[in-house]
Amino acid sequence: MTNPRTLYTKIWDDHVVEQRDDGTALMWIDRHLIHEVTTPQAFEGLRLAGRTLHRPDLTLAVPDHNVPTDHRFEPIADPQSALQVETLTANCAEFGVEMIELNAAAQGIVHVIGPEQGFTLPGTTLVCGDSHTATHGALGSLAFGIGTTEVEHVFATQTLLLKQSSSMEVRVTGSLGYSISAKDVALAIVGALGTAGGTGSVIEYTGDVIAALSIEGRMTVCNMAIEAGARAGLVAPDAKAFEYLRGRPRSPAGAEWDAAVAYWRTLPSDAGATYDRVVTIDGSAIAPLVTWGTSPEDVVAITGVVPSPDSFADASKRLAAAKSLDYMGLAPGTRLEDVVVENIFIGSCTNSRIEDLRAAAAVARGRHVASGIRQALVVPGSGLVKLQAEAEGLDRIFIEAGFDWRAPGCSMCLGMNPDKVPAGERCASTSNRNFVGRQGPGSRTHLLSPAMAVAAAVTGRLTDVRELMA
Amino acid sequence: MTPFHTVTGIAVPFGAANVDTDVIIPSRFLKTVTRSGLGASAFDVIRSDPGNIFDTPRNSGAPILIAGDNFGCGSSREHAPWALADMGFRVVIAPSFADIFSGNAYKNGLVLVELPQEQIDRLMSVAADADITVDLENQVVTTEYQDRFAFAVDPFRKAALLSGQDEIGLTLTMAPAIERYETRIADERPWLAGAAARRF
Ligand code: SF4
């Protein structure tokens, strides 16, 4: 009898090409997603060394980071952005990589399209030159972000040299309260672990709350694993995962589907498997959360107040908090509900899938964006999400409420395309990072859920969505 | 990759904790399609202050950076080590580094040295007026004041840094093992091949 193994160890074991004496292993990579920002230098490296791309059939490309979300059928105005997208197109043609073109219906954020296309599958190793690759862990794929040199390594060999990470179980128990979403769970976890709490680990999310979440909700939770410093986040594949994948354009079909499901059923952690660390979070106690500072761990309940730097035990935390508050233009003791915002962003690979848009539309229906709001963007994660939302009439709800309904892309999640938060202004954002300057130089970000973003849009300040929906 | 042996030179006593990759190289500078030239944009926000620590006549082009805890947290962008290298840095010394950053750094020949905070504090004060030596072969940081701080380094990374060896070239020597693996999974997990093409 073999020892009980975790999901992570099972996936790891099945991908070892060669174990080396120094503790590293050459690991096979099943899936490689690429976008325009972190690949040009990797293709450049292949070309310079006269190497070919080993398995183009396992590589899928899509432009997303610096594509404009309006005037989509005109040439990209920013010459550098245009050059990156053109470079991706030319490289994919040269090396035989399948690319979802900018104006294809299926184009979207790389972490939205992977699962949506059925390219992401349980029990696979999946990499992408992007730190939010952990998103795909929601389907039980060991998915992690890599740098450009590693992208080049995967191009040339379809493998990576890796060391096994430690394992951590994050168990979210109980059941979520009214209007509490997967995003609140994600923020609660980052708040509890801190931005370095998961360093060196692969997290497996377990517990009743995770089991009850939809696949899309699990994606939101896994998406922010990196915000706790973890290498990857995983959820054991279950019937929901199989149902989610059935019939997708790049999912297996027929006899291969049946064989795949049989394999996927063997993946969940065995009873008695142990983790290096276990953290338990009471899901029933999670309130709608927002961030107050410039680190994703700076979370507080919407009903709370901006903390005082003095409330932190650690000296470096006190210093960081004081700097954060200065940057954010917030005074300790301010009620979060009194914080006025000027910008709203609903989108990003954290919260731009159909369920996110449905949750946002449910709050937006029959309400209107407040007069002080300068920009209120709703940016679907992919063209297919956009079409689905339009078929359900969600676009009408948003437009009637005064939101701007855009074409898919990373948009205001990062200050790399035309969608930016002006310096000194605040944004209630469903994205995953509130770093200094993340949404544009001088931008101030408050992370929250899609429903909470709409609540902020209609009142013009951070607002407890439960009050609106009561 | 340039082989790394010993570096002696000025260390910039930066010291800040939780420096994320957006601070090292803000995302608006990532729109490049080559690896060089990012140094001018590194630490853009900090360096917009003319009196900043990086651009003093003494520190400009220094080979060593001393930072605080959790250096390089945030995104997977390899532009961060490229930018640091393009500024002239060959070593970063800090109490701890973020995972992805540390993988990226070593792959680009940037040496990361982890030392306890007290030793960092000591180096910060020495760095104000004396050079610091980082000896990778012997895994030790020394100063002219007889400080001698040993550091740990992964043997595999150390060998690669010392030889300046290309990791892809190394992996390609294992091509037979890769081929065997591919043949095996084509049989065991046939649904994995051909994934990028639409199947229906
Ligand atoms: S939406 Fe934001 S976090 Fe996600 S891939 Fe795009 S830039 Fe990265």
pLDDT at position B37: 87
**Interface touch A259/B190, C-beta < 8 Å:** yes
**Chain-centre distance of CA A394, in angstroms?**
22
pLDDT at A23: 85
Cβ within 8 Å, pair B76-A146: yes
Q: How far is B61 from chain A (nearest CA, A)?
A: 24
- Provide the pLDDT for residue A1: 54
Identify the residue whose tokens are 């142990």: A274
pLDDT (tens digit per residue) in A145-158: 998 999 999 999 99
Residue B200: predicted pLDDT: 65
Pick among B96, B173, B180, B189 to test the A interface (most A CBs inside 10 A) = B189
Q: What percent of chain A has pLDDT over 90?
A: 91
How far is A264 from A294, CA to CA, in rounded Å?
A: 39
Number of residues that this document lists for chain B:
200
pLDDT band of B3, cuts 50, 70, 90? confident
> Does residue A184 surpass a pLDDT of 60?
yes
pLDDT grade for A427, boundaries at 50, 70 and 90: very high
Question: CA A400 to CA A385: how far, in whole Å?
Answer: 19
What is the rounded average pLDDT of the residues A288-314? 97
Residue A208 makes CB contacts below 8 A (sequence gap 6+) with A172, A173, A174, A175, A283
Contact at 8 Å (CB) between A157 and B171? yes
- Higher pLDDT: B56 or B200? It is B56
Kindly state the average pLDDT of the residues A430-459: 97
Q: Under an 8 A CB cutoff, do B34 and A41 touch? A: yes
Query: How many Å lie between the alpha carbon of A44 and the closest alpha carbon of chain B?
Result: 8
Quick one: A272 exposed, middle or buried, by C-beta within 10 A (0-12, 13-18, 19+)?
A: exposed
* Mean pLDDT rounded to a whole number for chain B: 93
> Mind listing the pLDDT tens digit for each residue in A71-80?
888 889 999 8
DSSP codes of every residue in A15-26? TEEEE-TTSEEE
Q: State mean pLDDT over A286-310.
A: 97
DSSP string, A107-128: -B-HHHHHHHTT-S-TT-EEEE
> Cα separations (Å) of A452 from A80, A140, A184, A260, B98?
35, 28, 10, 39, 31
Enter the ipTM. 0.93
Quote the tokens at residue A321. Answer: 């908090």
Q: How far apart are CA A367 and CA A131, in angstroms?
A: 36
Res B72: pLDDT: 96
| Alpha carbons A107 and A455: distance in angstroms, whole number | 29
Please report, for residues A26, A433, B42, B70, the alpha-carbon distance to residue A138 in angstroms, rounded to integers and kept in the order given.
24, 19, 35, 27
Q: Which residues line ligand 1 (CB under 6 A)?
A: A 65, 109-111, 130, 132, 348-349, 410, 413-414, 431-432
Reported as a pLDDT band with limits 50, 70 and 90, residue B132 is very high
Q: Which of the four pLDDT bands, split at 50, 70 and 90, describes residue A40?
A: very high
What average pLDDT is seen over chain A? 96
The C-alpha torsion from B178 through B182 and B185 to B186, rounded to 10°, is 180
Q: Do A148 and B78 touch (CB under 8 A)?
A: yes
Contact B156 A40 (CB under 8 A): no
Whether A398 contacts A454, CB under 8 Å: no
| Closest residue in A to B15 (Cα–Cα) | A316
Give the minimum alpha-carbon distance from B11 to chain A in angstroms, rounded to a whole number: 22
* Greater pLDDT, B75 or B55: B55
pTM: predicted TM-score of the whole model, two decimal places: 0.88
pLDDT confidence of residue B102:
92
How far is ligand 1, taken at its centre, from the CA of residue A111, in Å? 8
Q: Among all chains, which residue has been given the structure tokens 């947290």?
A: B73
pLDDT class for A142, splitting at 50, 70, 90? Answer: very high
Residue B107 has pLDDT above 90, yes or no: no
% helix, strand, coil for chain B, step of 5:
40, 15, 45
Q: H/E element holding A240?
A: helix A239-245
Which residues in chain B have Cβ-Cβ distances shorter than 8 Å to A131? 74-77, 100
